[in-house]
Structure 1
Amino acid sequence: MTYERALIIGAGAGLSASLARRFASRGMSVVLAARSTGDLTPLADETGAATHRCDAAQAADIRRLFEIVDMRGAPDVVVYNPSARVSGPITEIDGAAVEAAVAVTALGAFHAAQEAARRMVPVGKGAILLTGATAGVKGFAGSAAFAMGKFALRGLAQSLARELHPKGVHVGHFVIDGGIGNPNRPDREGPADTPDSRLDPDAIASEYLNLLDQHPSCWSWEVELRPALERF
């Protein structure tokens, strides 16, 4: 199955940038969407991508984003990356902040997946890729909001896979079990004596493309990715 147009929601440095480069190297047109697009200019210039502002917590923003992207062709690959963290003891954490965080991490993914499916199901082709985290399978103390959002994201992916795989739409949830390295931030690269202690964003991007390349007779709905040194 070949794909032609990719939309990355929650674009930025790191994984999103790696995905944009990999998609562009395959000859795919790329659209980058983020709450703030100013920092995306160098990546857009490098990949030929279009950029659009989108607050993932706002359903109207997501709907408008898809309508704008439709003008150059509906995306057949949609990647949802945004997430929000609010940490603190359950007795003290601010409820409104938790609602806002879950809106970004999970509800935004629902609205993006819904808009994507409305375009992909009629043509029997497409892929919806959701970026998860360790918190989606293991909730940590003091991180209730992030766990809520990522558990919901994983449940959404599993439900969508069961509904959409038979209709030709490939749904993939990626459990990123570990910290992602960032070449622009040495503090995010891990100790020099353990260079593979952080996930390489280019290597992660390769796994997203590997899922896209799967034959329909053996589709995955979830892939766990972690450094060989990561304990789990």
Structure 2
Amino acid sequence: MSLSKSVTPYQRALIVGAGPGLGASLARAFSVDCGMRVAIAARRREPLEAIAAATGAVPLVADVSSVAAVEALFDAAELALGGPPDVVVYNASQRVRGAFAEVDAEAVARAVDVTAIAAFRVAQQAVRRMLPERHGAVFFTGASAGVKGYAQSAAFAMGKFALRGLAQSMARELSPQGIHVAHFVIDGSIRPVGAPNDGKDTQLDADAIATSYVHLLSQPRNAWSWEIEVRPWVEHF
């Protein structure tokens, strides 16, 4: 899916947690449709190569499990993009499934760190660079697990609830300072890359989700959204 050329007040984007699904669609939308310079980051370089080749995005390998690593990522992104990113999307998460009485506590802690604590690290570095200009956007990819906890999915619920709370707190503090903070509730399964549409639109399409991110980037500041839900028309909620 290709958007018509979109005009946003932003020039440089960093997508953390990029992969072949939504991350690739966001890179395509930001670079091709919005004309932004884009950097994409993940723990391994291999998933980034195809996205970079298709979109012109700059691939960056990063582990966001420490403040020092996140600072290094932003330094690399600023160098690659010709300036600090004025759009940052946190798209990473980690799931641990299992019966509550049996799930491994250390695995849960790691999952919550990836889904929420690392989001804080990334957002803090982004905001520190945006505040001097009183301009920027920080977007978080959430899930329905952030508004309702599912059985045998405590770790994901903990992480996504925390992510939503982080976004809401940031929006209340930073919107009046010119930084657009938004949380996206992705309610439903995203159709796997390469899988055909069943003709009934029962799954989310990654390119279609990306249009909502672009829409929020295009919002005038007198009508900003801090949260948006997207779901297939047949999804129960």
Shift of residue 58 of structure 1? 3.0
Determine helix, strand or coil for the equivalent of 1:127.
strand
Partner of 2:231: 226
> For the residues of structure 1 that align with 2:127 and 2:22, how far apart are their CA atoms?
23
CA contact (8 A) 2:41 2:48 kept: no
Question: Could you tell me which residue of structure 2 aligns to residue 182 of structure 1?
Answer: 192
**C-alpha separation between the residues in 2 aligned to 1:141 and 1:39?**
31
Are the equivalent residues in 1 in contact too, given 2:20–2:193 (CA < 8 A)?
Answer: no
Which of 190, 202, 207 in structure 2 is aligned with 1:202?
A: 207
Q: Does 1:113 align with 2:120?
A: no
* Aligned residue identity for 1:110: F
C-alpha offsets along residues 133-154 of structure 1, whole Å, 9 cap, x if unaligned? 0100000011000000000000
**2:76 alignment counterpart:** 68
8 A Cα contact 2:139 2:181, kept in partner: yes
Find the partner of 1:6 among 4, 13, 21.
13
Residue 103 (str. 1) matches residue 113 (str. 2): yes
In 1: Cα distance, 2:99 partner to 2:72 partner: 37
User: Any gaps of 5 or more consecutive residues in structure 2?
Assistant: 1-7
**Quick one: distance in 2 between partners of 1:101 and 1:58?**
14
Aligned length: 227
- How far has the Cα of 1:193 moved from its partner? 5.4
What residue in structure 1 maps to residue 41 of structure 2? 33
Separation in 1 of the partners of 2:191 and 2:184? 16
For 2:156, the aligned partner's letter is: F
Cα distance between partner residues in 1 of 2:202 and 2:64: 30
Query: Taking structure 1 as the reference length, what is the TM-score of the superposition?
Result: 0.95
**1:207 deviation in Å?**
0.3
* Cα distance in 2, alignment partners of residues 58 and 131 from structure 1: 20
Q: Of 135, 142, 155, which residue of structure 1 is paired with 2:152?
A: 142
Distance in 2 (CA, whole Å) between partners of 1:52 and 1:93 is: 33
Letter in 1 for 2:206: P
Q: Deviation string for 1:200-224 (max 9, x for gaps)?
A: 1111000001001111111110000
* Runs of 5+ consecutive residues of structure 1 not aligned to the other structure: none
User: Partners of 1:94 and 1:60 in 2: how far apart?
Assistant: 28
Scaled by the length of structure 2, the TM-score of the pair is 0.93
Superposed CA deviations along residues 145-190 of structure 1, whole A, max 9, x for unmatched, are: 0000000000000000001100000001000000011232x3xx67
In structure 2, distance between residues paired with 1:110 and 1:176: 19
**Residue of 40, 53, 56 corresponding to 1:45:** 53
Contact persistence 1:56–1:82 (CA under 8 A): no
